[in-house]
């Protein structure tokens, strides 16, 4: 008599191929006992860039959910197990017992067969060799492994800039010093090899370390001060004192990624921001006419942002050098061949910046369609990681919040970002008379390493000129 044999299969947190290492489980769509089919969405997760739904790649019955909603899980970690049907009459394969940690660490490395890694549908696996987190080992195991790998490597801090009378030691020989002295050297950031010993038998003493540190301080006073300031800047701020009614919100997902990106940008690229007020009365009339005529399509949303985007694209076409990136490793400025226009979008999960690929090649109608799809997808929280990669320049529409302007921070890797402020009716000199006109303020931040003041000013002036006289979109474009 044959019987149906079931075995357990685990579905791991997928690798979306964008360099992400973890994701938060937002919601489960299944529970233990539910039947699932190949391609069925079982949960929704949020990475540092987007919320995505995960389809399971096989049929079966849900056995266990390994993590609750709200848990943050590393890529490659099993999140759900499913009982799947096996061959008739076949005995289920017993799960191998985990090997002891010490034995695993001591065993020689064996090249494993390529592992089938789950990937998110539509993205594909990360190219290159996958780097995975090291397995947790006991202290004894880690120590033994470290000693086996480097039996004679001294534990020492980086050498000072100007060592005083360093002692030449044979290769592989460690400087002589007692454990407390070695600890002090590590705390002071001193390489014991650069210290001249005065103790009996060539042993380095505490006094030798203090004398060495004092000698280094004099000729390198300014660098020491700079390092001290840097060290103070890296000290964690004291924890806020909790008060009645305080609410703590975990820093994760999109918020965490945004914070890291903004800090990296603000302290890497020297920002310069320029401002200009412009009469956009004609542009606002043009927007109304496009809406009423339906020339761009019935379902196409027409807004002032569309004209601002088109004006920026035309300005970039006239000054392509601003559509560039700074390549620190190669020490080159890379002028990009196409404009991937980013639109900063505020979502319930935080700020994201999806971009329209090759926006400069699109007609006004095509740009309007792409812009509408981008905004709607962002509002629904369905923006894919691929849509947020490769941006070259960004627009942030702060005007929708009633804000006149700001000093926007560059999206990392980009050379410029344009802030579009609120459109207000203001007194304005028009044809020699002070009359009410619709006016906005534009702010352009740019990376001063690759965009000088003249280039930035010309781009901003062109955008303003196009919005003041939108017919120039035809003559200049």
- The pLDDT score that the predictor gives to residue 89 is 43
Overall pTM > 0.85: no
- The pLDDT score that the predictor gives to residue 384 is 80
- The pLDDT score that the predictor gives to residue 34 is 94
Q: Determine the angle formed by the axes of helices 304-318 and 281-293, rounding to 10 degrees.
A: 120
Catalytic residues, which ones?
448
CA distances to 271, 276, 287, 307, 342 from 463, in Å: 19, 10, 16, 10, 16
| Residue pLDDT, tens place only, 158-213 | 444 444 445 556 655 678 877 677 777 777 778 888 888 888 878 888 788 778 77
Residue 64 has pLDDT above 60, yes or no: yes
More confident residue, 310 or 196: 310
- The pLDDT score that the predictor gives to residue 158 is 44
Neighbour-count burial of 113, counting CB atoms closer than 10 A to its CB (0-12 exposed, 13-18 middle, 19+ buried): exposed
Instruction: Provide the mean pLDDT of the chain.
Output: 78
Query: What is the rounded average pLDDT of the residues 429-435?
Result: 95
Of the pLDDT bands very low, low, confident and very high (cuts 50, 70, 90), residue 216 is: low
Query: What is the rounded average pLDDT of the residues 110-118?
Result: 43
Residue 254 has pLDDT above 90, yes or no: no
- The pLDDT score that the predictor gives to residue 19 is 58
Residue 311 has pLDDT above 60, yes or no: yes
Residue 39 has pLDDT above 70, yes or no: yes
- Residues ≥6 apart with Cβ < 8 Å to 178: 203
Q: Cβ(276)–Cβ(442) under 8 Å?
A: yes
Residue 57 has pLDDT above 80, yes or no: yes
Span of 75-79, 107-111, 463-467, 472-476 with lowest mean pLDDT = 107-111
By residue count, the chain amounts to 477
Counting Cα atoms < 13 Å in the Cβ hemisphere of 198 gives 9
Of the pLDDT bands very low, low, confident and very high (cuts 50, 70, 90), residue 137 is: very low
More confident residue, 90 or 2: 2
- The pLDDT score that the predictor gives to residue 74 is 87
More confident residue, 89 or 208: 208
Residue 5 has pLDDT above 70, yes or no: no
Residue 263 has pLDDT above 80, yes or no: yes
Radius of gyration of the chain (CA): 30
- The pLDDT score that the predictor gives to residue 175 is 81
| Residue pLDDT, tens place only, 268-278 | 889 999 999 99
């Amino acid at each position: 008599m044959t019987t149906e044999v079931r075995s357990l299969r685990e579905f791991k947190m997928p690798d979306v191929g964008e360099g992400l290492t973890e994701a938060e489980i937002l919601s489960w769509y299944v529970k233990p006992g539910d039947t699932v089919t190949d391609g069925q969405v079982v949960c929704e997760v949020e990475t540092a860039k987007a919320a995505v739904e995960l389809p399971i790649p096989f049929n079966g019955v849900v056995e266990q959910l390994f993590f609750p909603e709200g848990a943050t899980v590393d890529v490659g970690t099993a999140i759900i197990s499913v009982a799947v049907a096996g061959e008739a009459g076949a005995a289920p394969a017993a799960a191998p017992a985990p090997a002891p940690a010490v034995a695993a660490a001591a065993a020689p490395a064996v090249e494993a067969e390529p592992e089938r890694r789950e990937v998110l549908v539509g993205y594909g696996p990360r190219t290159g060799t996958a780097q995975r987190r090291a397995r947790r080992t006991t202290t004894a195991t880690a120590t033994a492994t470290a000693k086996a790998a480097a039996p004679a490597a001294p534990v020492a801090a980086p050498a000072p800039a100007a060592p005083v009378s360093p002692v030449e030691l044979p290769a592989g020989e460690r400087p002589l010093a007692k454990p407390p002295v070695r600890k002090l050297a590590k705390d002071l950031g001193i390489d014991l090899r650069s210290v001249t010993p005065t103790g009996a038998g060539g042993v380095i003493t505490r006094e030798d370390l203090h004398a060495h540190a004092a000698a280094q301080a004099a000729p390198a006073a300014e660098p020491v001060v700079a390092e001290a300031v840097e060290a103070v800047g890296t000290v964690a701020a004291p924890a806020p004192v909790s008060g009645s009614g305080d609410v703590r919100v975990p820093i994760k997902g999109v918020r965490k990624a945004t914070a890291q990106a903004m800090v990296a940008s603000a302290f890497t690229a020297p920002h310069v921001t320029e401002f200009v007020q412009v009469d956009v009365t004609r542009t606002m009339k043009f927007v109304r006419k496009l809406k009423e005529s339906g020339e761009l399509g019935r379902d196409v949303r027409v807004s002032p942002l569309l004209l601002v985007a088109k004006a920026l694209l035309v300005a970039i076409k006239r000054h392509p050098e601003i559509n560039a990136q700074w390549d620190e490793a190669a020490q080159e400025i890379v002028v990009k061949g196409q404009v991937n226009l980013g639109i900063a979008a505020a979502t319930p999960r935080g700020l994201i910046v999806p971009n329209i690929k090759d926006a400069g090649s699109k007609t006004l109608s095509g740009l309007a369609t792409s812009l509408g799809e981008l905004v709607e997808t962002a509002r629904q929280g369905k923006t894919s990681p691929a849509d947020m990669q490769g941006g070259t320049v960004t627009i942030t529409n702060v005007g929708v919040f009633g804000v006149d302007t700001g000093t926007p921070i560059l999206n990392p890797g980009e050379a410029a970002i344009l802030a579009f402020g609120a459109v207000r009716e203001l007194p304005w000199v028009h044809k020699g008379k002070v009359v009410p006109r619709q006016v906005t303020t534009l702010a352009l931040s740019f990376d001063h390493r690759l965009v000088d003041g003249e280039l930035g000013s010309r781009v901003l002036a062109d955008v303003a000129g196009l919005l003041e006289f939108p017919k120039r979109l035809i003559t200049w474009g």
